Structure 1
Amino acid sequence: MLLEFVDLDNWVKKRGSILFNKFKYEPFTLEEADKVLKESGIEAENTKELLSILKRKGIVIAKKDPNDRRKRLYQFIKSAKKPTRDNLIKNLKYCADLIRTSVDYKVLLVFLFYKAVSDKYLSLVEKFVKDGYSKTQAYLMANRSYLKLYDEDEGKLYVWHEVVKSRETIMELANALNKIANLNDNLKDLSKLVEVLGLIGFINEDNMHILEELVRVYNEMDFSEIDYDAIGDAYQWILSYFAPQKCKEGEVYTPVEVVRLIVNLLDIEEDSEVLDPACGSGTMLIESYRYIKDNYGGEVYLYGQERNEIMAILAKLNLILHGIDSEGYEIYVGNSLKNPKFGEVDYTIANPPWNLDGYNEDVLKENPEVRKIYNTFVRGGYPPKQSADWAWIQLMIYFARKKAGIVLDNGALFRGGKEKKIRKEIVDKDLIEAIILLPEKLFYNVTAPGIVMILNKNKPEERKGKILFINASLEFEKHPDVRRLNRLSEENIDKIVEVYENWEDVEGFSRVVDLEEIRKNDYNLNVSLYVFPKVEEEEIDIEEVFKELKDIEKEEKEAVNEVMSYVEEILKVY
């Protein structure tokens, strides 16, 4: 473990080593860490910041204290078996640049999926062989315990390594993927992805130089001993790398930091059911799964619906690559606003398309089941044609037994007309628990700041009749890779979540507001109306300012005199 500290600066390295020597792999609290550092004779300074750095570096993990959900437990990580994230990303970036003008970026996702599951499969086979089973028996056992990559009828293995072992077999990549789709019920849609991406057309002699180079780089990445989160992170990196380009074409990508903020605010409990009705590539579902695994180690059941069939398929691949068992999720294809295919769950979470048009009363009342949704909280609660934002809110709180967390355009908080009617009823029914104003430039497709709204059907007594407003517009750092963007740091997320959990007023940052005040403001929920960031006042040196004014006055007088002398000279000539 001490080797893990090599790349850190001395301030972190020294304190991290002291904590590791004291706690080893046992969990500890922030207060305990602070006490150990002080007892060692070292000034602790900011222990919370120290632990945040160690967490970012993957040296410690943080999870909820089961005895007090408002507190965190920290623990040093034993495993150091995976290759560095930097090497993985470096290889994928090279591949991304290689295919940028040749084929859809989703090919990289499919190849990553195929290579990773093949490595995991063969690792299982090797384990079974070591236990004394024959190769054929090992294939059959791996088929039953993981994915089916061995055709039992043909007696043929369809792993990546078999398919790419020569120029001739590389040509069979698309056919092998189709075969795997047929062998696995939960991967039936993979054939559709192969078709839409035009893989059969791409895999030909003309592109052989690109294919062989892709195969070479992917072969350098051995995923057999890499944990699922690392593989999943690689998948997420490909999505984020192409996000600026794809957002211009209509695809929506939610930064993972925003997703983690919402998941932490919801504080999802183990053995819960979580739904994302606009799931895209599945990031919100995956972060919900991670949250449960990291904090409680229990189960979570995931449901998603996505109207784009290809994105729904990519979500399934994403879930598999994160090690989520096929019995633990269900992804539906379809329009959630018009035809929800899911049922009631504990939590709903989403970043739906903002200001989606075309979902007024005429469209939404066609389905009798859907009509119930838009008449439950507000009689005739249909949104205007130009924005479905409040339709999404009603949908999500309708299907949530406990809480809903949604990202929306800031305008949803104060626009009038039909939206105001819905907003008024939702406020009066005391369903909104908190509203967070995010910083601007967090999203690839819009520069405007979004908001996070947390709705709660079971507010604690002390929170009833109130809404917590958090103005986090200044809580950001510059994005390390995209110059024009900002992002939420772990410290920003922790600050927001801590204030939400403590339900407290912080000058210039948060305020608990009675519903009566909101009614007096005509149901305007604009966060800046209730909380405005505290601006640091600059100290003014009156004497220095007076001197500067005198200097300016003197310069102006000299300039006027100079101009007048020019005028007098001209008048003399004439």
Structure 2
Amino acid sequence: MKFKNIEPRFIKAYNLLMEKFGLFPFTYNMAEKVLKDNYENVSEVLSKLVEAGLLEKTAKKEDKRKKYYKIKPLTSEKMEKVGKDKLISLLKQGADLIRTQVDYKVLLLFLFFKAISDKYLLKVNELKKEFKDLDEEDIYILANEDILELYDVEGKKLYVWHEVANKPEDFINALNKIVEMNKEKLAGLEELIKRTGLPALFENENKHIVKHLINLFSGVDFSETPYDILGDAYEWTLNYFAPTKAKEGEVYTPIEVSKLIAHLVEPKDDEVILDPACGSGSMLIEQYRFVGENPNIILVGQERNDVTAVLAKLNFILHGINLKDAKVFIGDSLLNPKFESFIKEFKGTGKADKVVANPPWNQDGYDENTLKSNKKYKHIYKYGFPNKNSADWAWVQLINYYTEKKAGIVLDSGALFRGGKEKTIRKRFVEDDLIEAIVLLPEKIFYNAQAPGIILVLNKNKSGDRKGKILFINASNEYIKHSEVRRLNKLSDENIEKIAKAYKEFKDIPGFCKVVDIEEIKKNDYNLNVPLYVAPIEEGEEVDLKEVYEELNKLHNEYLEKFEVVKGYLEEINKII
């Protein structure tokens, strides 16, 4: 929208009304209360704003005689193109608006709706130029096939952001209609909308927050923002709220850990990558990005929490990943792995090439009686059942069963040395030569755990020089301080490269990594605790002997001087006596 030579004083009035009412309707009397301190003739102000196209007049159905005004939303002519820095700044503003009063997932919903709307309209414009003879509806139908269906063919109505941004009463209806038109791709999104409490936010005391969020997103244009940036922004939002949500039990894998796992399992084109505890999908996305530009891989995830599974779908879309190549199932993978039949469409065995996961640590309730409810328990949990206090080695067995080549698993370090039933399972993994490497991570890099985690690398196709051996990497000192969360650490790109290089070279580096023969591990009673095999070398302080000598000599001379002074005092005292 362009201002039609409107005077600055009227633009100021527009901003005052926008700040107060946003996109919600208001009466003349309401406007007068806002403007009376700055303007004598409120009627003139409103008329000028209507004339300039900045306000629209409307009337409520129940009382057509009573006029209402609405701020008109900004169109793409006025919207600002955004890059990564601008987008993160916008999301920080949104996060500040939300604080603890509104579920942070509302911010993700708004980012998703605005981004796909802008991308859709960009596609419409491109199609109009390419197919000049087609009418508008045919163009919309073609655009529906590109990202998501946003045009309702039966109702002949377009459901995009700018069509409903100034009609809060239609906002939720539009989101629900988009879910209905994209049932398979967005299954579960309607539940996310309900759980965030978004419908009620338009009515309760927090409606001003929604109003400001709509205003915030209406001012930017995502049509030409690369999917990588949109995806990074989505991940940034998850990451930003992770420290707070961790206290409520939500688990989020830091992106740098997902990147490190990608370096360890090395996903390639034409592979199926599985994450049976996929959360918001970030680990799968990092495998996708690792392959390179336009990768040809299939991503498969399963997540027990239905709302989190929907977040993963939105994450894929905003990263530009076609949902034909990325599938997320909802359910408990330990008891009911739903992904096998889908994988069979690409791999006859129903098993993935690579598996990556950060399953819940020390999950309780998965003992023998529970795990036997899995129809394939005899094949999956063939090495034994863990006790009910920790399902760590149940997850390792599940992942091992569905892995054809390699797997990277994040676990609590206690899984490496705890006794009892876990030790029995661990022993069999060692003896069957399934473990290729173990990486001890630094402490304080996970939002919900202070203790250091580990990455267990399984490899069913070890090369000859690696058979019968396990590489232990002690990366406990490989970290930098987190830039945004003071109490946390994080892996830098340099840290990741160092660890990945050590894994690829598979040789001893004093104080950092060591290749250990399985026979030595047997002598240690199958204890896989990394510091038992490799501990960081304590760096001693460098000593300059010349400097130390000079300092000692100086102190010695000072001592002699003081000694002579004291000696003189004593001699004088003795004379007096």
Same structural fold, with TM-score higher than 0.5 when normalized by the shorter chain: yes
Cα distance in 2 between the residues matched to 1:248 and 1:207: 24
From 495, 504, 509, the equivalent of 2:507 is 504
Is the contact between residue 171 and residue 204 of structure 1 (CA under 8 Å) also seen in structure 2?
A: no
Partner of 2:390: 387
Partner of 1:42: none
Cα distance in 2 between the residues matched to 1:541 and 1:208: 68
Give 1:415 deviation, angstroms: 0.7
Is the contact between residue 201 and residue 210 of structure 2 (CA under 8 Å) also seen in structure 1?
A: no
From 516, 519, 523, the equivalent of 1:516 is 519
Which residue identity is paired with 1:104?
A: D
Partner of 2:474: 471
Is the contact between residue 82 and residue 227 of structure 1 (CA under 8 Å) also seen in structure 2?
A: no
- Say how many residue pairs are matched: 470
Q: What aligned pairs does 1:164-563 form with structure 2 within 5 A after superposition?
A: 164=165, 166=166, 169-185=167-183, 186-204=185-203, 206-294=205-293, 297-343=294-340, 344-375=351-382, 378=383, 381-540=384-543, 544=548, 547=552
Give 1:540 deviation, angstroms: 4.1
Give 1:358 deviation, angstroms: 1.0
Which residue identity is paired with 2:459?
A: N
| Alpha-carbon displacement from aligned partner over 1:186-242 (angstroms, at most 9, x marks no partner) | 113211111222221112274443222111211223111111110011111110111
Moved more, 364-373 or 182-191: 364-373
| Secondary structure of 1:327's aligned partner | coil
Partner of 1:41: none
**Superposition TM-score, scaled by structure 2 size:** 0.78
**Superposition TM-score, scaled by structure 1 size:** 0.78
Compared CA separation, residues 549 and 342, structure 1 to 2 (3 A): farther
Partner of 1:97: 96
Cα distance in 2 between the residues matched to 1:121 and 1:205: 32
Which residue identity is paired with 2:243?
A: P
Partner of 1:153: 154
Cα distance in 1 between the residues matched to 2:206 and 2:411: 43
Is the contact between residue 276 and residue 305 of structure 1 (CA under 8 Å) also seen in structure 2?
A: yes
Partner of 2:60: none
| Alpha-carbon displacement from aligned partner over 1:15-61 (angstroms, at most 9, x marks no partner) | xxxxxxxxxxxxxxxxxxxxxxxxxxxxxxxxxxxxxxxxxxxxxxx
Cα distance in 2 between the residues matched to 1:201 and 1:548: 79
| Secondary structure of 1:171's aligned partner | helix
Compared CA separation, residues 121 and 548, structure 1 to 2 (3 A): farther
Partner of 1:55: none
| Alpha-carbon displacement from aligned partner over 1:109-153 (angstroms, at most 9, x marks no partner) | 111110000011000001111221332221111012221101111
| Secondary structure of 1:383's aligned partner | coil
Which residue identity is paired with 2:307?
A: I
Is the contact between residue 339 and residue 370 of structure 1 (CA under 8 Å) also seen in structure 2?
A: no
Q: What aligned pairs does 1:58-77 form with structure 2 within 5 A after superposition?
A: none
Is the contact between residue 285 and residue 302 of structure 1 (CA under 8 Å) also seen in structure 2?
A: yes
| Secondary structure of 2:172's aligned partner | helix
Give 1:467 deviation, angstroms: 0.5
Which residue identity is paired with 1:537?
A: G
| Secondary structure of 1:406's aligned partner | strand
Give 1:367 deviation, angstroms: 2.8
Which residue identity is paired with 2:360?
A: P
Q: What aligned pairs does 1:104-123 form with structure 2 within 5 A after superposition?
A: 104-123=103-122
| Alpha-carbon displacement from aligned partner over 1:527-567 (angstroms, at most 9, x marks no partner) | 1111111221223467849949988xx8xx99xx9xxxxxx
Larger radius of gyration: 2
Partner of 2:343: none
Cα distance in 2 between the residues matched to 1:92 and 1:517: 52
Give 1:342 deviation, angstroms: 1.8
**What stretches of structure 2 of length at least 5 have no aligned partner?**
1-79, 341-350, 567-577
Moved more, 453-462 or 138-147: 138-147
Is the contact between residue 174 and residue 203 of structure 1 (CA under 8 Å) also seen in structure 2?
A: no
Is the contact between residue 396 and residue 404 of structure 1 (CA under 8 Å) also seen in structure 2?
A: yes
Cα distance in 2 between the residues matched to 1:549 and 1:509: 41
| Alpha-carbon displacement from aligned partner over 1:256-298 (angstroms, at most 9, x marks no partner) | 000000011101111100111110000011111111234xx43
Is the contact between residue 471 and residue 509 of structure 1 (CA under 8 Å) also seen in structure 2?
A: yes
RMSD of equivalent CA atoms? 2.3
Give 1:243 deviation, angstroms: 0.4
Is the contact between residue 117 and residue 160 of structure 2 (CA under 8 Å) also seen in structure 1?
A: yes
1:140 is aligned to 2:137: no
Which residue identity is paired with 2:112?
A: F
Cα distance in 1 between the residues matched to 2:451 and 2:553: 39
Compared CA separation, residues 372 and 82, structure 1 to 2 (3 A): farther
